[in-house]
Amino acid sequence: MQKVKGLKSNDIVGLTASAGPVSHEQLKKAILALEELGFIVVVGETCSMNYRGYLAGAPQKRASELNDMFANQEIKAIFCLRGGYGSTQILPLLNRELIKRNPKLLVGYSDITALHLFLQQCCGIPSIHGPMPASDLIDADSFTKEDLYRLLKGDTSLERVCNPPGEKMEGVIPGRAGGILIGGNLSLLSALMGTPYEIDTKGKILILEEINEEPYKLDRMMTQLALGGKFSEAEGIVLGTWSGCYSDSNFNIKDLFKEMLEPFGKPVLFNLRAGHCSPMISLPLGAFVEIDADRGEFVIKEGIIQ
C-alpha cells in the first residue's frame, strides 16, 4: 500500500460527482464548506450535471473527470460531492495505471465505497472514509470537521480512535486483532460480490455500515458476505452506524450481528460512529489498525500519510 501526501491550508482540491446529482444551491454550499476548511476548490463539470435524474453525468463523463483529477498535479486531494448511486458504473472506465502513478487522497463514503475498493485493491492507494461536501460538510458539526481535517493533515499514527462524546464503542465478540482497514457500506460490498472488484478481506480489519435497511435485508447482505468467505478470512470486524436500520418489533440489531458473526470467532466492535451519522469519525482506509473488543478500543498503528 502506497502512502499519500497530506494536505495543508490553501492546497488545491478537486470536487467531483461520481454518483448522484445535487441542486445548484447545494453545490454552492458544498464549495463554500471546502473553502471554509482552508482549501482552493477546482469544481468538476459533473457537479453541475444531471443525467437520468439520479446520476451526475453519464458514466464516461464521471470516469473521465475522476481520471483527469488524479492526473492533475495541482490537485492534491479529491472530494466526492455526495453519494447516492453510480460509482460502481465507472469502475471499468477508470485508468488504474494513471491513478497508480498519481496517488492522492480521495474522500467520501456510502456509494463511494466502490471507489475506495478500486483504489485500495486495484491501485494500492489508501483513501478516507469520511464526510462529503454536499451531504455532510454543508452543516457539519465541529467534531466532524475537525476529525476530517486532522486526518487530511496526516495526524493519525499511534492514535486511539475516539467516538464523539456520549457514544461508546463496545465489543460484540471478544478478542484482539490487527490488519489493514478495508470496507465501507454494506450494500455496496454486497453488490460487488462476484465482480472483479469484490472485496478481499484476507488478513484485514473489515468496517461495515448502512442506513435505512430493514433487519431482514441486513441479514441477507451479511449472509452473502458470509457465504463468500469474507468474515472467515478477515482478522476482525468493526460495525459502524446503522441509522434507520431498526424495525418496529422488539428486536436488537446488535443481537443480529452477534448471532451471525459469532461462528467465525473473530473480534467484533460495535458502534464506531463512522458512516451515516452526525457527528462522524473519518477513517483512513488502507491504514494498519488494531481493535480490542474486550476494551472497546480502535487504534491506528500506522497511518496513510507520508
Nearest to 197 by CA among 207, 184, 213, 212: 184
| Same-domain check for residues 148 and 167 | no
Q: Indicate the residue among 108, 133, 153 that finishes a domain.
A: 153
> Which CATH number characterizes residue 264's domain?
3.50.30.60
| Same-domain check for residues 127 and 170 | no
Q: What is the pLDDT of residue 250?
A: 67
- What's the pLDDT band for 65 if we cut at 50, 70, 90? very high
Q: Indicate the residue among 122, 153, 184 that finishes a domain.
A: 153
| Same-domain check for residues 259 and 136 | no
- What's the pLDDT band for 213 if we cut at 50, 70, 90? very high
| Same-domain check for residues 57 and 190 | no
- What's the pLDDT band for 157 if we cut at 50, 70, 90? low
- What's the pLDDT band for 85 if we cut at 50, 70, 90? very high
220 lies in some domain:
yes
| Same-domain check for residues 100 and 115 | yes
Q: Is the pLDDT of residue 158 over 60?
A: no
Q: How far is CA 274 from CA 1, 108, 128, 147, 209, in A?
A: 22, 11, 11, 11, 8
Inter-residue contact 241 to 269 (CB < 8 Å): no
pTM, 2 dp:
0.96
Name the residue range of residue 173's domain: 159-302
| Same-domain check for residues 105 and 205 | no
Whole-number Å distance between alpha carbons of 201 and 181:
9
1 lies in some domain:
no
Residues with active-site annotation = 110, 209, 276
- Segment 217-245, tens digit of pLDDT: 999 999 999 999 999 999 999 999 999 98
3 lies in some domain:
no
| Same-domain check for residues 203 and 272 | yes
Q: What is the C-alpha end-to-end distance of the chain, expressed in Å?
A: 12
| Same-domain check for residues 140 and 180 | no
229 lies in some domain:
yes
| Same-domain check for residues 35 and 101 | yes
> Which CATH number characterizes residue 98's domain?
3.40.50.10740
Looking at the 3D structure of the chain, how many domains does it have? 2
